[in-house]
Amino acid sequence: MYNPRFRALATSGERDISIKKDVETFISSECFGRRVFNRSTMKKMLPKKIYANIVAAMEGREKIKEEYADPIALTMKEWAVSQGATHYCHWFQPLTGAAAEKHDSFIEWESNDDVIEKFSGKQLIQGEPDASSFPSGGLRTTFEARGYTGWDPTSPVFVWKAGDGITLCIPSVFFSWTGAVLDSKIPLLRSDKKINDASLRLLNMTGVKANSVFSTLGTEQEYFVIDRALRNLRPDLVMLGRTVIGAAPAKGQEMQDHYFGTVKDRILCFMHDVEERALELGIPLKTRHNEVAPAQHEFAPVFEKASTAIDHNILLMELLRQVALQHNLSCLLHEKPFHNFNGSGKHCNWSLSTDTGINLLNPTDTPENDLHFLILLTAVVHGIHKHSTLLRASIGTATNDFRLGGHEAPPAIISIYLGEELEELLNSIESVTGPVKGKGKGKCVYDLGLNVSPELSQDNTDRNRTSPFAFTGNKFEFRAVGSMSSPMMPVTVINLTVAESLNEIMDEIEQVVGGGKPKIEDIIPILRKYVLKSKNIRFEGDNYSADWVREAEKRRLPNIEKSIYSYRSLLSPETIKLYKGVLTKEELESRYEILCENYANILSIEAKVIIELFETQVLPAALKQQKLLAKSILTTQEALGDKADLTEQKKFLKDLTELIAKGITIKEVIKSKSSHADGLDNVAKAEAHCTEAFPLCSELREVCDRLEQVIDNAIWPLPKYRELLYMV
Ligand code: ADP
Ligand code: MG
């Protein structure tokens, strides 16, 4: 009997993991950014005036001058060709969550015989891909398919290698011919402008010198790596990136022997290649290690300006997939590939930085003046409290829902952890009555008896790993973001909420302070109001506990287990106001539509995949097992006659038969429920899948897993958990 599983197992066991690499050839510091059209390359290749213009554009201070577009394009092409590039593309991020690219060759035909390589300023600055198949959420009907991509000079141009193809990639924004925003980058860039304006107001008042402020981001990326041959035998991994069935192996993650454990040779070869490619692309990867679940790992870069960090994260995810294939591995970025094993997240570490290098959330950066820290902290807490449902929506995907609320991931309830000292500080602001005096010129010592800086060092804030949004000494760590998601929307929402909240607080402060020097006793009463209003979102305890769920309910904090129920927050008057100047009401509505559609589609695919698996793999194997047993009982009976006591075997056969029948029944109900759901509009479809079809998929899974445990190993066709997780 041929079982493809054994062939895949043999293939995976025979992989050549001899370490061929001549490590000497790659010197990180020399190779860093060599595939990026970066400042040092531009400085060497472009005339001074043009270089100055492009640097100003990169920093968002100027537009690229029209007359410079051609010479820039020419130089860019020269550089790209010297790197082996034959094509160029506008690289952009439509609302699919992934990056998009359409390659055009540099070649132009002068006549039938004459071919030259050309790249003009016009081609650099604007592209016009056929936009009809990108999601627009009803913003643009198909016959009006015109969509434009426009070069975003704030992100560095790079050269991407895939297979034998080398392509010049021009990071771009994407919009329709009516000007409607069709990507996730434009809102981010606009949110950064808002955070800049609001922060500069604050810094002007507190006297911290800076020309601009931007959000910074460091993304810790978790992922699984398994053997490619085994993955290819699992339709669920191929179609969804997650196993929809699979019995628990004898050993789970209870030994906790994987976290920070020795990285195996084969994985390290893969990681090393990823690092090489990433460094060449200017992605500052710094950390690599094993994560909690077997076959789970993490990469973390050094933080950068948020928009660059996000581009880099999207490139990194692509690299992980691509390099894994080259190593005959498969990288799973899904938030919950394996039931009962830790899922993967993408911790988004967020802060604000000035162009002069001050981290506004690090009180030790400005020891002489920490008033801005106190105001900013209050603004963050208040902003997140006010828009917590929107923040929940920003990380809400059908795939991330499998992970949230598990006992290893942040719950679906958004709360903030500040650490003991800051808690105490905000509590004191709240409880002190009457005037509060600041004294001393150097450090700001409040009469609250507390000192915000510089004693408050990073190490003083202890870690609460269960919190979805935790202050970690000099930044906030948003842990609820899914491993597969682009950080674009969550970071945009954080920027916007903090900017709005800061502006609100600054309006009040400026009324009291006027143009004069701020006095702490004037400011504290204002902050107190905001601290009180947002108090409910602060939580120091165990976010995984059942007590917290009850406590959060008392505090009236939303607990939205299914993301679909958070999406409506995109349509609320508060959100429309928050997004003023960033996205219009219609653009928000379109995003709402797209989120609902994606959510519904994923659940619909889930149902189809488990049905297919049951019908074409589990059931046939179960029927074979049933036949084997029945035959064995009959032949034994024949051989031994009355002397045979076959009670137990018969019971086994009866149980198996019942289990098979149960599976068939559930499968039929899923079929009818999900086909009914698929006929509904997106929101109703998503809800029907969530409440009706999906719970049955979980029941069918139990049946399948039970069958896997009793069916002859030689018959079972699907790679088992122990094979997927432990055999690389
Ligand atoms: P961990 O949370 O695992 O202890 P680290 O403290 O080393 O890890 O930092 C995690 C991530 O936070 C890294 O990507 C790091 O670059 C990033 N980070 C550090 N400082 C900032 C900052 N000011 N803004 C944004 N991200 C930051
Ligand atoms: Mg972390």
Please tell me the predicted confidence (pLDDT) of residue 112.
75
- Give the residue, out of 360, 380, 475, with the most ligand 1 atoms within 8 A of its beta carbon, to mutate for a pocket test: 475
Which residue in this structure is represented by tokens 């550089």?
Answer: 79
Average pLDDT value for residue range 661-669: 98
Cβ of 302 below 6 Å from ligand 1 = yes
Please tell me the predicted confidence (pLDDT) of residue 438.
39
Cβ of 373 below 6 Å from ligand 1 = no
Cβ of 217 below 6 Å from ligand 1 = yes
The whole-angstrom distance between residue 599's C-alpha and the CA centroid of its chain comes to 16
Average pLDDT value for residue range 74-84: 96
- What is the tens place of the pLDDT at every residue in 520-568? 888 999 999 999 999 999 999 888 888 999 999 999 999 999 999 999 9
> In a 10 Å sphere around its CB, with 0-12 CB exposed, 13-18 middle and 19+ buried, how is residue 371 labelled?
buried
Does pLDDT of 603 surpass 70?
A: yes
CATH superfamily entry for domain 32-183: Glutamine synthetase, N-terminal domain (3.10.20.70)
Does pLDDT of 576 surpass 90?
A: yes
Q: What is the maximal distance between C-alpha atoms in the chain? A: 105
- The CA 718 to ligand 2 mean position distance, Å, reads 35
Does pLDDT of 437 surpass 60?
A: no
The closest alpha carbon to 41, from 166, 157, 161, belongs to 157
Cβ of 220 below 6 Å from ligand 1 = yes
**From the CB of residue 439, how many other CB atoms can be counted at a distance below 10 Å?**
10
- Closest ligand to Cα 287: 1
Domains 32-183 and 598-726 share a fold: no
For residue 451, give the amino acid letter. Answer: N
Which residue in this structure is represented by tokens 């650099």?
Answer: 124
User: To 5 degrees, how large is the angle CA 237–CA 239–CA 240?
Assistant: 65
CATH superfamily entry for domain 192-583: Glutamine synthetase/guanido kinase, catalytic domain (3.30.590.10)
Reported pTM: 0.94
Does pLDDT of 450 surpass 70?
A: no
Question: Could you tell me the two tokens for 374?
Answer: 């106190």
Q: How far apart are CA 394 and CA 411, in angstroms?
A: 15
Average pLDDT value for residue range 457-477: 77
**What's the mean per-residue pLDDT of the chain?**
90
Nearest atom in ligand 1 to the alpha carbon of residue 349 is: 26
Of the pLDDT bands very low, low, confident and very high (cuts 50, 70, 90), residue 481 is very high
Residue whose CA is at the smallest distance from ligand 1 atom 19: 303
Of the pLDDT bands very low, low, confident and very high (cuts 50, 70, 90), residue 19 is low
Cβ of 569 below 6 Å from ligand 1 = no
Nearest atom in ligand 1 to the alpha carbon of residue 361 is: 23
**From the CB of residue 249, how many other CB atoms can be counted at a distance below 10 Å?**
17
Concatenating the DSSP letter of every residue in 179-194 gives --B-BSHHHHHHHHHH
Give the strand pairing for 416-417 and 469-471.
parallel
- The CA 686 to ligand 2 mean position distance, Å, reads 32
- The CA 196 to ligand 2 mean position distance, Å, reads 25
Q: How far apart are CA 231 and CA 727, in angstroms?
A: 12
- Give the residue, out of 290, 303, 353, with the most ligand 1 atoms within 8 A of its beta carbon, to mutate for a pocket test: 303
Cβ of 453 below 6 Å from ligand 1 = no
Cβ of 473 below 6 Å from ligand 1 = no
- The CA 478 to ligand 1 mean position distance, Å, reads 11
- The full set of domain ranges for the chain reads 32-183, 192-583, 598-726
Cβ of 68 below 6 Å from ligand 1 = no
Question: Domain 598-726, what architecture?
Answer: Up-down Bundle (1.20)
Residue whose CA is at the smallest distance from ligand 1 atom 17: 218
Average pLDDT value for residue range 663-678: 97
Confirm if 170 and 87 have CB atoms less than 8 A apart. Answer: no
Question: Could you tell me the two tokens for 499?
Answer: 């900017």
